[in-house]
A and B are shown apart, each in its own frame.
Chain A
């Protein structure tokens, strides 16, 4: 197998193919790989090797499932084997002779469906469950997903590191239950007599080959599902959660829902594998699902690359080869060497025993030296050439606005903040603050550091709870809503300290802004239904229009991960991400902070051109020239109190404002200055 694989890779990278497009080359490689894998049992007719290949398949499926939870959604699940066990025991119990209730008329319809049969072991008639393997696969996925939600619901609110230890606990509880509920699971001895799958009335029997093909089919299916999910709205939401939960929820991702979805889909993968695994072994014992399994799967995911679909499959295959082929062979070689050179000590070494030790070493070494795994999920893009990254400061606001629809807000007040008070312990961050943003207007909030400006944004967007007051947006109360619900209602924001998703590229970051405007669920995303395709295409177009606004500041960089962008460009991406959500009001928290004067002017004019299209804007800003240029109304906060409001020029001369900003003496100086001039 290794030779054939190596051969395919040589031709894959070889010169004759150099002229092909990368996608064509990749497709060809896949076809060759698939052909080799399909032919493998005939090329290499060794039942033991085919069997271990089938085992590798089941670990690959498990690793793919764990990758959804750990790699995509960033939820470190150390008890993943629990779901594997649930699928396994589900199939085991419903095909073995362990649980046999008394027969009654109730079972007749099930018997007609072929799910049960009547047997007699010399007493009353009993029920023998005869669940078909093919029916068990999808139903086990559902059962395991149910348990995924059951375990996940109470724990997913926890911080990531707590989640690790709680899942570790669940992973331990499931085998304990299996060990101690003897009547259902036959305890530590395990279930026996589990039925082999049948296809067209033909039992799989003892040959490994049919299992190999089922395993191959499962791996292919789950690679397909993983890739489709990764590149969908769902996958983007998961990665947003992994990168920054707060930003994800502020951009419209329902955290609980998508975390549970990751848990449930990951569990479903494991449940199916459980069925496959015990059908193959025809036995299930609690020891098959302990922490060692969960941690081996973690090693596979870490070795291959967290979040990398192909990497994870590679990791699973490599570890399986290590265990079943390389270490026994190595042991054999060392024993022969010992015999040849007459060192008896060498003949006692058994490397197979150190498999687990090697796993531990792999975890540590990968974390220290190659955290992205063998096949990293995000490929590093080459840096832009000097010419490509050159950008001139452009004056006059956005130019290519023709593709952006105009906002036509209902006249009246868009946002009304009434008497909002926020306290952190003894500190009053906002004290009965009132603020009104008229539809289509630009209101600026200014105030010294610590005056409560960012808290105001946080309370509007649901990141901070108010102690009292009311915040209405277009007549709908926002207080009490989760951040993602606030965004759904058309309130989008940026953050003072920039909260992008650092390991995603510009395009992905901005696409996540579209999350709340898309509807595709997991099934539509995997099947690429026409609705889903139309939606994704529209989203991509819209996002490119938005990025296009920023011209060659962002366009040449759409494939770059945002952690490598300049500060000003990261600000622009964040604004683009907020705009992508089609907001009715945009909350900008110090959008020009850290920009030089020319860039500041450029951005201020761009914001003004958005306003000219009818977008309502609430702005926090320190630079008074920006405020004067943009805002038609200014609200001044100090120590949580609203101390002044009015037109920019009024506020500039307001006594209280001058005192707050400059102190009393300085105010006198300003007044004198005015007199003199």
Chain B
């Protein structure tokens, strides 16, 4: 591979990672935008989503790389994987919000954030105790179709990941901009009290943003599995921190910002892994997070969350 090919290849890898981080970052940004809360449970809702997707695919008879599908069965299988993990994750998110965070809504200080850390821990350990800590083989039913671009390789799974992420993000964009509920959501993010006065059911809006954010985490869990062909109980931490960095980089609370930030983080990760070795990519990402927070806390596209003092 020439240097250009290598760069191209890392670009392809970076875009795929970026698609995953974008979807995950949206969950952080939606919740932060409305509640000013860093939702640490999101890390492991994502991991649970990946596990659910894996179990769903396995339940449909797929195991490892041995069963290859094509045509309608493939599409239906993938749709089922996405649907089940998204819906179940969405309900997990709603459950967390309704039963654990709503009672703390008006409590000042770090109580809600500590609760999400606790929830994250519980999710992690429930999966650890039931499924174990080993790395699992995530079913991959995709035919090994590749499109060579110069010396680099674009695989079918990458195209698929891009399309899925693009569809989900366009749908979310449409939802927040043009639907009544989406507008209510943006209004609540600006000023929950004023939105309540104007007849917005704030509780419902918050619940729905948790549902959407968590469902997107489920989708990115499925994407993670398809991309790496593995699922592991400790996968949530690194991916979650990258996604959070992405949300901050784009401007936390800002939906297009999270999408942009995710893609940038994916690219930075792929390219820095190429340049420095993957052991250091965590360090690169965290340093970036610190730099952004210190020098441009509003992110690239500006922070849309309210500035409560």
Contact of B104 with A168 in the complex, beta carbons under 8 Å: no
Task: Decide: B38 and A161 in contact? CB cutoff 8 A.
Answer: yes
Tell me whether A356 and B118 are in contact in the complex, defined as CB-CB below 8 angstroms, given that A161-B36, A169-B289 are known contacts. Answer: no
Say how far A350's CB is from chain B's closest CB, in angstroms.
9
Contact B115 A162 (CB under 8 A): no
Question: Could you say which residues of chain B place their CB within 8 Å of the CB of A533?
Answer: none
Could you say which of A87-95, A132-140, A171-179 contacts chain B?
Answer: A171-179
Number of B residues with CB within 8 Å of any CB on chain A: 41
Contact with B38, one of A165, A176, A371 (Cβ below 8 angstroms): A165
A126 CB within 8 Å of chain B:
no
Which among B55-63, B65-73, B146-154, B276-284 touches the partner chain?
B276-284
Other-chain residue from B114, B237, B244, B294 in contact with A298 (beta carbon distance below 8 A): B114
Task: Tell yes or no: A160 within 8 A of B by CB.
Answer: yes
Most A CB within 10 A of own CB, among B112, B121, B293: B121
Contact for A170 among B126, B128, B286, CB less than 8 A: B286
Contact status of A357 and B122, CB under 8 A, knowing A155-B290, A170-B286, A295-B117: yes
Partner of B121, one of A157, A166, A177, A356: A356
Q: Are B107 and A363 in contact (CB under 8 A)?
A: no
Q: Once the chains are docked, how many angstroms separate the CA of A138 from the CA of B120?
A: 36
The answer on a CB contact under 8 Å between B293 and A162 is yes
A327 to chain B, nearest CB (A): 13
Let me know if B37 and A368 touch, CB within 8 A.
no
Give residues of chain B (128-161) contacting chain A, Cβ–Cβ below 8 Å.
Answer: 128-129
The residues of A that contact B248 with a CB separation of less than 8 Å are: 162
Q: Are A356 and B289 in contact (CB under 8 A)?
A: no
Contact of B114 among A166, A302, A354, A357 (CB under 8 A): A302
Take A364-B122, A368-B100 as given contacts and tell me if A176 and B115 are in contact as well, using a CB distance cutoff of 8 Å.
no
A76 close to B (CB within 8 Å): yes
Check A74 against B283 for contact (C-beta < 8 Å): no
Select the residue from B38, B110, B113 with max chain A CB neighbours within 10 A: B110
| A367 lies within 8 A of B104 (CB) | yes
- Taken together as a complex, chains A and B put the C-alpha atoms of A149 and B151 apart, in Å, by 48
B282 contacts A362, C-beta separation under 8 Å: no
Size class of A's contact patch? 35 or more
CB of A164 within 8 A of CB of B113, answer yes
Q: Is the CB of A361 within 8 A of B110?
A: no
Residue pair A169, B286 in contact (C-beta under 8 Å): yes
- As a 0/1 sequence over residues 462 to 487 of chain A, the CB contacts with chain B under 8 angstroms (1 = contact) are 00000000000000000000000000
Q: How far is the CA of A352 from the CA of B193 in the complex (A)?
A: 46
A180 in the interface (beta carbon within 8 A): yes
Say yes or no for A353: interface residue by CB 8 A criterion: yes
Q: Is the CB of A354 within 8 A of B115?
A: no
Cβ-neighbour of A165 out of B100, B123, B280, B289 (below 8 A): B289
* Chain A residues positioned under 8 Å from B36 (CB to CB): 161
Task: Find out whether the CB atom of A166 lies under 8 angstroms from the CB atom of B107.
Answer: no
Please name all residues of chain A whose beta carbon is closer than 8 Å to the beta carbon of B126 when the two chains form the complex: 357
Tell me which of A158, A180, A368 contacts B115 (CB under 8 A): A368
Residue of A nearest to B44 (CB): A360
Q: Provide the main secondary structure of the chain B interface.
A: helix
Mask of A545-559 contacts with B, CB within 8 angstroms, 1/0: 000000000000000
**Quick check: A363 and B297 within 8 Å, CB to CB?**
no
Which one, B121, B241, B280, B294, contacts A357 given CB within 8 A?
B121
Within 8 Å CB of A180, what residues of B? 279-280
Chain A contacts of B100 at CB under 8 A? 364, 368
Let me know if A364 and B110 touch, CB within 8 A.
no
| Contact of B37 with A161 in the complex, beta carbons under 8 Å | yes
CB-contact partner of A363 in B115, B123, B128, B279, under 8 A: B115
User: Whole-angstrom distance between the alpha carbons of A362 and B111 in the complex?
Assistant: 13
- Binary flags per residue of A385-422, CB closer than 8 Å to B gives 1, else 0: 00000000000000000000000000000000000000
Q: Across the interface, which residues of A come within 8 angstroms of B114, CB to CB?
A: 76, 298, 302, 363, 367
A342 at the interface (CB under 8 A from B): no
Is the CB–CB distance between B293 and A367 below 8 Å?
no
Looking at A161, A179, A298, the one whose CB has the most chain B CB atoms below 10 A away is: A161
- What is the distance, in angstroms, from B193's C-beta to the closest C-beta of chain A? 15
Q: Which of A168, A179, A353, A361 contacts B118 (CB 8 A)?
A: A361
Q: Is the CB of A364 within 8 A of B297?
A: no
| Closest Cβ neighbor of B100 among chain A residues | A364
Give chain A nearest CB distance to B38 CB in angstroms.
Answer: 5
Q: Is A246 an interface residue (CB 8 A)?
A: yes
Write out the residue numbers on chain B whose beta carbons fall within 8 Å of the beta carbon of A160: 110
A276 located at the interface, meaning its Cβ lies under 8 Å from any Cβ of chain B in the complex: no
For residue B119, CB closer than 8 A to chain A, the reply is yes
Please tell me which one of the listed residues B104, B244, B286, B294 contacts residue A158 in the complex, with CB atoms under 8 A apart.
B294
Q: How far is the CA of A173 from the CA of B107 in the complex (A)?
A: 32
Shortest CB distance B292–A (Å): 10
A176 to B124, CA, bound (A): 21
Q: Does B106 contact A (CB under 8 A)?
A: no
B283 to A173, Cβ gap below 8 A? yes
Q: How far is the CA of A302 from the CA of B244 in the complex (A)?
A: 25
Q: Any chain B CB within 8 A of the CB of A289?
A: no
Are A360's CB and B290's CB within 8 A? Answer: no
**Minimum distance in angstroms from B250 CB to a CB of chain A:** 15
With A76-B110, A162-B293 as given contacts, are A360 and B120 in contact (CB-CB < 8 Å)?
yes
CB <8 Å contact, A360 and B241: no
B289 x A357 contact (CB < 8 A): no
Q: How far is the CA of A646 from the CA of B128 in the complex (A)?
A: 75
Residues of A within 8 A of B297 (CB): 158, 162
Residues of A contacting B289 in the complex (Cβ-Cβ under 8 angstroms): 165-166, 169
A154 interface residue, CB < 8 Å from B?
yes
Within 8 A of A (CB), among B68-112: 100, 103-104, 107, 109-112
Cβ–Cβ contact A164 & B119, under 8 A: no
Known: A161-B37, A360-B118, A360-B125. A76 touches B103 (CB 8 A): no
B121 contacts A169, C-beta separation under 8 Å: no
Complex A-B: 14 CB contacts under 8 Å:
A76-B110, A76-B113, A158-B293, A165-B289, A169-B286, A173-B283, A298-B117, A353-B128, A356-B121, A360-B121, A360-B125, A364-B122, A367-B115, A368-B104
**Which 6 A-B residue pairs are closest in the complex by CB-CB distance?**
A363-B118, A360-B121, A169-B286, A357-B125, A360-B122, A364-B118
Interface residues of B (CB under 8 A from A): 36-38, 100, 103-104, 107, 109-115, 117-126, 128-129, 237, 241, 244, 248, 279-280, 282-283, 286, 289-290, 293-294, 297, 309
